[in-house]
Amino acid sequence: MPKKEKPKAPPKKGLKYQKLYIQALPSASMYEKSYMHRKVVTHLAVTKTEFILTGAEDGHLKFWKKLPSGIEFVKHFISHVAPITSLAVSSDGLYAASASKDKTLKIYDVINFDMITIIDLGFVPSDCCWVHQSSAKKPTIAIASAHEDAPYIYIYDILQNERTPENITKPLEILKDIHRDPVILIKYNQAYNTVISIDRKGRIEYWDAEPASEHAFPANAVQFKYKTSTDLYEFCKVGTVPTSLEISKDGKLFATMGADRNVRIFQFETGKLYRVYCESLEVFKSNQKEASSNVGSHKLDALDDIDFGRRMAIENQLDKAWAANKAPPSNVIFDESGNFVLYTSMLGIKLVNIVKNKLVNIIGKVENSERFLSIALFQGKTRGSVATGTFVAKGEEDPTVFSTAFNKNRFYLFSKREPPQDQDADMQAGRDVYNEKPTQDEIRSLPKKMKEDRIALSAILRTTFGDIHITLFGDKCPKTVENFTQLAKNNYYNGVIFHRVIKSFMIQTGDPLGDGTGGTSIWGKDFEDEFHPSLRHDVPFTVSMANANAPNTNGSQFFITTIPCPNLDNKHTVFGRVTKGMEVVSQIERVSTDKSAGKNKPWEDIKIINVDVNFHH
């Protein structure tokens, strides 16, 4: 659970109406829907005007409209020819901007979902933010340069497009004296009309957004004169840098996620640290060890040991990607009340009551195939559809967290609703919507009706102990069933033994080596998990994929349970159920085995003679 490193008395000992605040936030344990980009999704933004913007590493940007339930696609922009570095929306929700390594800034009219201005920067931008009040007649935007020798902040009037002799857009102002190193994060605090900027050395600066002030230090907005009396040198002291920056709606707090995996929340007026939550891997390891030993009280943080190992493997991959700047950072966001923060971790999306200093919920904890990264929150009331032009006066509340995930070309929606349990085989009816043309790898995962000769409806395992009839779920896990079907058709399982048998648990087979170390898929490599909300290990005689105790390591091995095993849910892909021949499974389960070194291998070989697959009802 979040660890408080710097004790400080909160302004209130309790929080009134906590239940109401929590009811106004998403709470589902699984994501309800996901939508595609062609490439990995790297940026998300939610506007006050009920639009969601998503950007991908190929420079493409998509607009979506929030509906009373879910979202609808609005428009697709091929905005840039290089990766997006920053995506910003104005505080009034009327404008958006995308900055890119192609040295351009594109400006959008959100309400009319139109690109209205292209600003040629002449430098690679690191971050940008709108720096005008909601009532301002002249929208202005600040862009930080990533240039080593010119770590300046440029301010542009988006309605002006005057050019320099070098044919780049002329800025209103160039702020050269605020930072000595390139700025990596910049955010506008509308409540105080002040900008917070942070450079790559971890130095935090406040400056007035009003041009008439010459962007001086906002002495009238804060309660300190010198930064030495604050905690604004925190990142310099600990030798790390923040990777995200967000400001609460009332402007009184701002939060950062650090490269050291620490969440730090500062009080804006005093510059003092208010909360620090350590999310380092060492903390997770310690909590897991305590939970496994039944010591302590880390119930929300606890995982099954196998699941924990799988997630740690992903975290190690993520650390390497972050070090190489090949993955977007995690971030911290506030809810509308400013009493809660949400941020991503290896366990899911954490919801923390910062007044009571308490972990309230972990959203998406069971989704162990996705490592969620950047998030954005919608908490308003939706009032209609762009497609139909229908609007209502009051609207409906549908709080939703939108999230990117590590190495995924999808973004995910978490609401208060769990995904339906009875989704049919149609792609559009499933929670993972195929709104883009599938790649070759994804084509292999299409439903049975699109590849009738590849995915069987049922199978019969003919063993030396008798026949086992299995119904296959190709509509819900097509890639897994396709793999099993084609291996069976290729006689791959012929003569393979049941190499692992554990009474009151399961029987396992599918390894041609016969020792649990072999076997490969029809693609010659491991393939990804396919978890479906309606397919659980909740009854005996469930057929499920074996793996290497890590995500997405499926090959040819599979097992049949002999008891309910809910602890295996979202760790192993369920792809079938035994419909006939349960007594054969039970007979195999009861054989004598060699239990030395945890082998659990039957003393006498029990073989699959062959597997018959059926493509018709």
Q: Say if residue 124's pLDDT is above 80.
A: yes
Give residue for tokens 């004790």: 7
Residue-wise pLDDT for 200-226, tens only, equals 999 999 999 999 999 999 999 999 999
pLDDT band at 14 (very low <50, low <70, confident <90, very high): low
Q: Say if residue 392's pLDDT is above 50.
A: no
Q: Is 50 left (phi over 0), alpha (psi -120 to 50) or beta?
A: left
Residue-wise pLDDT for 140-196, tens only, equals 999 999 999 999 999 999 988 788 888 899 999 999 999 999 999 999 999 999 999
* Options 189, 287, 508, 600, the catalytic residue: 508
Q: Say if residue 486's pLDDT is above 80.
A: yes
Give the number of other CB atoms < 10 A from CB of residue 397.
14
Q: Say if residue 341's pLDDT is above 60.
A: yes
Residue-wise pLDDT for 66-120, tens only, equals 999 999 999 999 999 999 999 999 999 999 999 999 999 999 999 999 999 999 9
Whole-number Cα distances in Å, 307 to 288, 356, 547: 11, 30, 12
CATH number of 448-614: 2.40.100.10
* Options 275, 410, 572, 577, the catalytic residue: 572
- For residue 181, the model assigns a pLDDT of 97
| For residues 219-235, average pLDDT | 96
Residue-wise pLDDT for 19-62, tens only, equals 889 999 999 999 999 999 999 999 999 999 999 999 999 999 99
- Mean residue pLDDT of the chain comes to 89
- For residue 443, the model assigns a pLDDT of 56
| For residues 353-370, average pLDDT | 93
Residue-wise pLDDT for 293-333, tens only, equals 764 444 566 777 778 888 999 999 999 999 999 999 999 99
Of the listed ranges 68-72, 244-248, 269-273, 595-599, the least confidently predicted one is 595-599
Task: Give me the DSSP letters along 397-454.
Answer: E--EEEEEETT-SEEEEE-SSPPPS---S-GGGSSB---S---HHHHTTS-GGG-TTT
Q: How far is CA 466 from the centre of its chain?
A: 45
For 595, residues 6+ apart whose C-beta sits below 8 A from its C-beta are: none
Whole-number Cα distances in Å, 315 to 309, 449, 530: 10, 37, 20
- For residue 617, the model assigns a pLDDT of 62
Residue-wise pLDDT for 552-598, tens only, equals 899 999 999 999 999 999 999 999 999 999 999 999 999 999 988 77
* Options 77, 465, 559, 575, the catalytic residue: 559
* Options 505, 536, 552, 614, the catalytic residue: 505
- Joined together, the tokens standing for residue 271 give 């510059």
Query: Which residue in 57, 41, 52, 94 sits closest to 75, CA to CA?
Result: 52
Residue-wise pLDDT for 508-566, tens only, equals 999 999 999 999 999 888 999 999 988 999 999 999 999 988 888 999 999 999 999 99
Give residue for tokens 């902040």: 153
- Joined together, the tokens standing for residue 322 give 């972050």
Whole-number Cα distances in Å, 139 to 107, 109, 145, 320, 598: 11, 11, 20, 39, 68
For 17, residues 6+ apart whose C-beta sits below 8 A from its C-beta are: none
- For residue 18, the model assigns a pLDDT of 84
With residue 19 as reference, give the H or E element that holds it. helix 18-23
Q: Say if residue 465's pLDDT is above 90.
A: yes
Q: Say how far apart CA 73 and CA 66 lie, in whole Å.
A: 9
Angle (deg, nearest 10), helices 281-292 and 305-323: 180
Helix (H, G, I), strand (E, B) or coil at 585: helix
Q: Say how far apart CA 500 and CA 507 lie, in whole Å.
A: 6
In the Cβ-directed half-sphere of 452, how many Cα atoms lie within 13 Å? Answer: 4
Query: Which residue in 530, 192, 551, 165 sits closest to 371, CA to CA?
Result: 551
Active-site residue flag, 508: yes
**Residue environment code for 82-120, b if the CB has 16+ CB neighbours within 10 A, otherwise e:** ebbbbbbbbbbbbbbbbbbbbbbbbbbebeebeeebebb
Active-site residue flag, 568: yes
What percent of the chain has pLDDT above 90? 76
- Joined together, the tokens standing for residue 11 give 């302004």
What percent of the chain has pLDDT above 70? 89
Q: How far is CA 93 from the centre of its chain?
A: 24
- Joined together, the tokens standing for residue 329 give 């950072």
| For residues 389-413, average pLDDT | 81
- For residue 426, the model assigns a pLDDT of 41
Q: Say if residue 612's pLDDT is above 60.
A: yes
Q: Say how far apart CA 475 and CA 472 lie, in whole Å.
A: 9
In the Cβ-directed half-sphere of 412, how many Cα atoms lie within 13 Å? Answer: 27
Q: Say how far apart CA 328 and CA 143 lie, in whole Å.
A: 19
Query: Which residue in 562, 613, 611, 563 sits closest to 588, CA to CA?
Result: 562
* Options 500, 532, 537, 577, the catalytic residue: 500
R_g of the chain, CA atoms, integer Å: 27
- Joined together, the tokens standing for residue 398 give 């549908």
Active-site residue flag, 77: no
Show the beta-strand stretches assigned E in 101-252.
104-109, 114-120, 125-130, 140-145, 153-157, 173-175, 183-189, 194-199, 204-208, 242-247
pTM (2 decimals)?
0.73
Active-site residue flag, 215: no
Active-site residue flag, 23: no
* Options 262, 353, 361, 547, the catalytic residue: 547
Q: How far is CA 69 from the centre of its chain?
A: 20
Give the number of other CB atoms < 10 A from CB of residue 138.
11
pLDDT band at 453 (very low <50, low <70, confident <90, very high): low
